[in-house]
Amino acid sequence: MRNPVIYWFRNDLRLHDNPALSKAIETGKPVVPVYILDDSLFSQHPLGFNRMGNHRKNFLFESLLDLSEAIEKAGSRLWIYKGRTSAILRDIYKEINAEAIFAQSEYASEEKGVEEELKLSVNLRLIDGSMLFTPLMVPFSPMQSPFYYTAFKNKVWELGPLVRPLPTVTQLPSLNELEQSRPNELFVPTKTNAQLIFKGGENEGLKRLDDYFSTNAPLHYSETRNALHGKDYSSWLAPWLANGALSVRLVWQRLSQLMPVNNIEIESIKTLKEQLIWRDYFRYLMMRYGNRLFWFKGLRSSEPSMFNDRETFEKWRLGQTGQPIVDALMRELFHTGFMSNRGRMLASYYLAKELKVNWQWGAAWFESMLMDYDVYSNYGNWAYQSGRGTDSRVNRRFNLVKQAEKFDSDGSFGGKWKQ
């Protein structure tokens, strides 16, 4: 039997434009696709809630079921396990006498820790796949990545024409005899009856992309993007982008293909591309600063004037602060696993700067709740909004009454999520 390679799916749950998977196939060896639900995902936060709440979990399971089907159509089978990632991968590697493990690079400490453990005993090949502009493309080393977003954007903007998605994988070379030698128990994600506002999986991500681009909405993005609710005020692509069911390069390409005819349309395309660049920016920030992005002090040297006030945190988390717009937003998050960008800015600001509660707690709650949870964007944005990250105006304040008047002028959002 020819020695196979393992393809370890991580936050790249798709067959379209998947650079690491394409590299695995290029070896010409049989490819064994594997996904592992790490035990750490099912742990409890010390504050008493699940690290991965139900919305996120259901969205992930749907994504895995969709990926399994796509892989079957491509002539292979996805092996899904639950347990300790590095131990399981090492077992499989030995059992099937694999030549290498291919996977998409990640940049946060937990993910890097698993990579380091694996490197001790397997041939691990990591490839950048979750960004528009990889470290090989940008004109700076990740350790010298610009601190401020605007400087970062200015350095990468002109690389836009180099963003090109790869073709979809339609065939996965497999070997039947591998089925017999599979170690450990496979995990079967259950189909859920959850009423999710978004359905997980590559198919649904591509469908949302098509739906959004079949309307005029992307050409009006700069006018609508601050809304708190309503149809197509923003792309709603984040959940699929976050677990990689949708490639960010595909979104960029679709935006580049639009033909704007006036300034609003030009501005909208530019603004939406800039939002996609924020995603890259926070990945580079994590590469440069590592764990500091999770610290209480964040990237700043002064001590934060925030406190571990459990009672106030619980009120915020459950939408019971008495501040109507924040309460409505937090209830929306609790019931749907989603919140608009403007909403996230207001809710995080309120916890950290007005209630003066430890911003890490707020970030952990978002981590549990958000269907689009992405470690880089979540902690990067939380640090930014709390004055602990890369906002040049660390003491920036919002007037929440004015914000509510401006972004919920008819009170319909507040009314929808009233207790």
Ligand X SMILES: Cc1cc2nc3c(=O)[nH]c(=O)nc-3n(C[C@H](O)[C@H](O)[C@H](O)COP(=O)(O)OP(=O)(O)OC[C@H]3O[C@@H](n4cnc5c(N)ncnc54)[C@H](O)[C@@H]3O)c2cc1C
Binding site for ligand X (CB under 6 A): 225, 234-238, 241-242, 275-276, 278-279, 282, 340-341, 344-345, 348, 366, 370, 372-374, 377-378, 381-382, 385
For residues 319 and 331, the answer to whether their CB atoms sit within 8 Å is yes
Nearer to ligand X, 93 or 284 (CB): 284
Q: Which of 405, 385, 380, 382 is nearest to 397 (CA)?
A: 385
Check if the beta carbon of residue 340 is closer than 8 Å to that of residue 355: no
Nearer to ligand X, 109 or 341 (CB): 341
Give least dist CB 309 to ligand X, A: 19
Q: Cβ closer to ligand X: 77 or 279?
A: 279
Q: Are 229 and 340 in contact (CB under 8 A)?
A: yes
Rounded Cα gap, residues 72 and 74, in angstroms: 5
Tokens representing 260? Answer: 């704007």
Least distance CB 246 / ligand X (angstroms): 9
In the complex, the smallest distance separating the C-beta of residue 346 from ligand X, rounded to whole angstroms, is 9
Find out whether 332 and 339 touch, Cβ atoms under 8 Å: yes
**Whole-angstrom distance, CA of residue 263 vs CA of residue 223:** 12
Coil, helix or strand for 371?
A: coil
Other C-beta atoms within 10 Å of 74: how many? 18
Tokens 């809710």, located at residue:
347
Contact 398, 365 (CB under 8 A): no
Q: Which structure tokens are listed for 253?
A: 């390409």
As measured in angstroms, the least distance from the Cβ of 372 to ligand X is: 4
Exposure string over 118-127, b if 16+ CB within 10 A, otherwise e: beeebebbbb
Tell me how far, at minimum, the Cβ of 254 lies from ligand X, in Å: 12
* Closest separation in Å from C-beta 67 to ligand X: 19
Residues near 232 by Cβ (< 8 Å), separated by ≥ 6? Answer: 212, 215, 217, 224
Q: Residue 289 or residue 382: which is nearer to ligand X going by CB? A: 382
Residue with Cβ nearer ligand X (7 or 413): 413
- 30 vs 244, beta carbon nearer ligand X: 244
* Least gap, CB of 376 to ligand X (angstroms): 8
Q: Which is nearer to ligand X, 237 or 328 (CB)?
A: 237
